[in-house]
Chain A
Amino acid sequence: MNANQTGAALLLDGRRDDDPTLALAHDALADGLAAGGWAVDDWTLRDDKIAWCAGCFKCWTQTPGVCAHHDEGRTVAERWTRSDLTVLLTPVTFGGYSSELKKALDHVLPILQPFMQKRRGETRHPQRYARRRDLLVVGAVPAGQAEGPEAVTFRRLVERNTLNMQPPRWAVGVLESGAGDWEVRVAVDGLLAEVGVKPARDAVGAGRREVVA
């Protein structure tokens, strides 16, 4: 996609509670995407019962590309595949994703093929679909910990995800609890810009460095 193209965005909202910073981030993401002309599939995961991925590999060996579970988990791969941009929102949980986000993320396995190939020194599964989507990940940590060890692990995790999912563009941001509405919007707009989304509002600019590393 070129710099200002619009498209379909899947927003996987992995909040476990009503954390104010993540609530602001959610609204800034949804509003920013909508303002930029994007169609947003805004999915609050805690509202849906999604069975844990059982690791049965039926999505590889029985019905390739389709999860065997007959619940909302089955729609994850479809909604992911049909998006141009996937946005993950989560409290940084021990340096990783929340269980709410992960219960959906575990169901993206069928977007990969089962085969193993060596790629840049490591074994990887090939992509099932030629068309890729960009990836934006936004997490929140307690105040003063945007450069802390869990934030560092979080960024490493996102980087590992990108090695396997191969998004054309990706960005990761870590917000600190207690950040105000303006700070969050500036940070989110900066991150959206990194994946080619230009929100039609005047918020991008100074201040991003204070809340996003």
Chain B
Amino acid sequence: MSAPRKALLLVGSPKPGASTSESLGAYLFEELEKRGVATQTMHVAKAVRTEETVEELRAAASSADLIVLSFPLYIDSLPAPTIRALEVLAEPPVGPAAFVAICQSGFPEVDHNEVAVEICRHFAEDAGFEWAGGLILAAGGMIGGQPLRKLQGMMRSAIKALDLTAEALAAGRSVPDEAVQLMAKPPIPKIGYRFMANWGWRSQFKKRGRGGSLKDQPYA
């Protein structure tokens, strides 16, 4: 791949507000901008809404030298609107930009996300893009849609991974192995993460729940 002049961030989270996928992608793109790359961001759930927005998506993708898809894991794979976006980018292929995937999930292990990144690699090959690597962030709940710079210390491995990735991509190189390994490093021990997550669900239910229990079985 060659050094990109224009990069497109595709935010694959269907959430209408702040998302962890956007936090990760936005940080990477700020670092790319610092290195002189022009950037554009699109949210796929909006981009696949109408024929007109699909054409805008395809036009943006075909004019970019680098595309980064940042998305959450949904049922071991990509969210439906993100798959839809990939389908429309592949029919017909709009390559030949470099393509990078960032997949994050609430699980503290990266293994859950590996198939989803593999799907992105197949897409890149099918759609005429150049696969430039994938990053997996586990324990995405630690970010919770907050800007990465605000979290700093807790997410230092992820930040370092994205810094290395920005440096490599801006120079026309693929995602470095060191970045992949740093991104995969859990920010806190898994047992602590599970404890915090379970406490968090109970706490949210106390605030938002409409009676019953978190273990309710409405269709039993």
**Pair A117/B118 contact, Cβ less than 8 Å:** no
Q: Taking A53-B14, A99-B83, A99-B87 as contacts, is the C-beta distance between A129 and B219 under 8 angstroms?
A: yes
- Tell whether A108 is near chain B: CB-to-CB under 8 Å: yes
Contacts of A105 in B (CB 8 A): 75, 80
Chain B's closest residue to A101 (CB) is B80
Contacts of B78 in A (CB 8 A): 96, 102
A106 touches B79 (CB 8 A): yes
Is A94 touching B107 in the complex (CB atoms < 8 A)?
no
The number of residue pairs between A and B whose CB atoms lie closer than 8 Å in the complex comes to 154
B119 touches A78 (CB 8 A): no
Q: How far is the CA of A103 from the CA of B80 in the complex (A)?
A: 5
A38 to B200 Cα, complex, angstroms: 42
Chain A residues, CB < 8 A from B112: 122, 160
Residues of B near A61 (CB, < 8 A) are: 201, 204-205, 208-209, 214
| Residue A66 is within 8 A (CB to CB) of chain B in the complex | yes
Alpha-carbon separation in the docked complex, A122 to B186 (Å): 14
Residue interface bits A106-122, CB-to-B below 8 A is 1, else 0: 10110001111110001
Interface residues on A, range: 35 or more
| A160 CA / B84 CA spacing, docked (Å) | 21
A60 x B194 contact (CB < 8 A) = no
User: Are A106 and B198 touching (Cβ within 8 A)?
Assistant: no
The answer to the question of B72 belonging to the interface, with a C-beta cut-off of 8 Å to chain A, is yes
Cβ–Cβ contact A114 & B84, under 8 A: no
| A93, A150, A157: the one within 8 Å of B87 (CB) | A93
Q: Is the CB of B75 within 8 A of A109?
A: yes
Chain B, 181-198, CB within 8 A of any chain A CB:
190-191, 193-194, 197-198
Binding site for A on B (CB under 8 A): 13-16, 19, 45, 72, 74-81, 83-84, 86-87, 90, 107-109, 111-112, 115-116, 118-120, 122-123, 126, 190-191, 193-194, 197-198, 201, 204-205, 208-210, 212-220
